[in-house]
Amino acid sequence: MAPTTKGIDTVRNPSEIFALFGNPVGHSLSPLMHNATFTEMKVDAHYVPFCVENLEDAVRGIRGFNIRGVSVTIPFKTAVMPYLDALDESSLEIGAVNTILNDSNGGLKGYNTDWLGLIRDLEESLEIRGKTFAILGAGGAARAAVFGLLREGGIPIIVNRTIEKGQEMAREFGCQFSPLSEIEKIKADCLINTTPVGMAPDREKSPLGRESLVNFRWVMDIIYNPLKTRLLRDAEEAGCSVLTGVGMFVHQGAEQIKIWTGREPPRAFMKGIVLERLKERDGD
Ligand code: NAP
């Protein structure tokens, strides 16, 4: 039989390429969310996930292939910084880049949209100014959260397992610190989990015992897989209002599209796409 391309999903030739750099990247929802959003916005672009083996070579590839923008994820958010030509104020203070923009001359600028994603999502449910926030963890996501909350007039309290790391971060940002082992002494308007404890496949794990949850009116988990972590299920039983990590994920991605295209993306559409896929996964 003569060869035919009928029925074969041929590769399109979009005018612009965007990418995800991470390792691993297989479970990321960013390719689904960004490609669906580009189509919805009628942007002629394609977003490709790359499992990066050599970061320096990968960054060279941004210029070499004229990739217009890149999302950066675990474990490269800090490691990528020395390879870029410029950094915005937030990525410098947080110490992590999750977004790269390639300007038309091949100049690469790093941004951090995680903090904005978190703030945009929180603001939809509660007022930040003057409120206290217990931040569980002292890693990159915790730094983004503390940076954003301070900017918006919130009062963060860092709560971490490794005391020296938490204390050092509290000193740097000028806020309070408590060891995780003493969490039951902390009362705050909102608790935000930025540790990976409870993420799939460890769905039954929680970073906190149930008894501590009564000290918080709101509990947010920035994990979004599963959608309702054990921490959030316990918090609901304790009478707290809860926020999943989906809103932050969608808003950080929406802010990336704004940086890359200069246009406001359809955030509700993006959230719908991500929620649909997560519900399918929860049913697995
Ligand atoms: P990271 O830099 O590795 O930091 C992880 C923090 O969690 C550390 O402070 C660590 O404490 C703490 N931790 C880890 N295991 C723990 C345990 N068993 N008990 C108590 N504390 C523990 O990670 P990251 O980049 O901040 O990311 C953290 C999570 O945020 C990941 O699940 C990531 O997927 C999620 N995230 C979500 C979004 C979103 O858009 N929703 C965006 C960014 C990140 P020690 O200091 O004691 O080691």
Q: What does the pLDDT profile of the chain (284 residues) look like in tens digits?
A: 566 656 555 556 778 999 999 999 998 999 999 999 999 999 999 999 999 999 999 999 999 999 999 999 999 999 999 999 999 999 999 999 999 999 978 799 999 999 999 999 999 999 999 999 999 999 999 999 999 999 999 999 999 999 999 999 999 999 999 999 999 999 999 999 999 999 999 999 999 999 999 999 999 999 999 999 999 999 999 999 999 999 999 999 999 999 999 999 999 999 999 999 998 877 65
What per-residue confidence (pLDDT) applies to 283?
62
Q: Is the CB of 197 under 6 A from ligand 1?
A: yes
Contact predicate 211/186, CB 8 Å: no
DSSP class of residue 182 equals G
What is the β-pairing status of strands 99-102 and 132-136?
A: unpaired
Tokens (6 digits) for 9: 């999903």
Model pTM? 0.94
Q: How many distinct helices (H) and strands (E) make up the chain?
A: 9, 12
**214: CA distance to ligand 1 center in Å?**
23
- Reply yes or no on whether 77 is catalytic: yes
DSSP class of residue 153 equals T
Q: Is the CB of 21 under 6 A from ligand 1?
A: no
Give the burial string for 70-102 (b: 16+ CB within 10 Å, else e).
Answer: bbbbeebbeebbebbeebbebbebbbbbbbbbb
Tokens (6 digits) for 132: 């206290």
* 3-state SS, residue 140: helix
Distance CA 251, CA 238 (A): 28
What per-residue confidence (pLDDT) applies to 105?
81
Contact predicate 114/124, CB 8 Å: no
71, 194, 206, best to mutate for ligand 1 pocket (most atoms within 8 Å of CB): 194
Q: Is the CB of 253 under 6 A from ligand 1?
A: no
Q: Is the CB of 162 under 6 A from ligand 1?
A: yes
Q: Is the CB of 249 under 6 A from ligand 1?
A: yes
What per-residue confidence (pLDDT) applies to 15?
87
* 3-state SS, residue 278: helix
If you take atom 31 of ligand 1, which residue's CA is the nearest one? 196
Q: Is the CB of 200 under 6 A from ligand 1?
A: no
78, 135, 159, 161, best to mutate for ligand 1 pocket (most atoms within 8 Å of CB): 161
What per-residue confidence (pLDDT) applies to 144?
97
Select which of 6, 42, 77, 109 is catalytic.
77
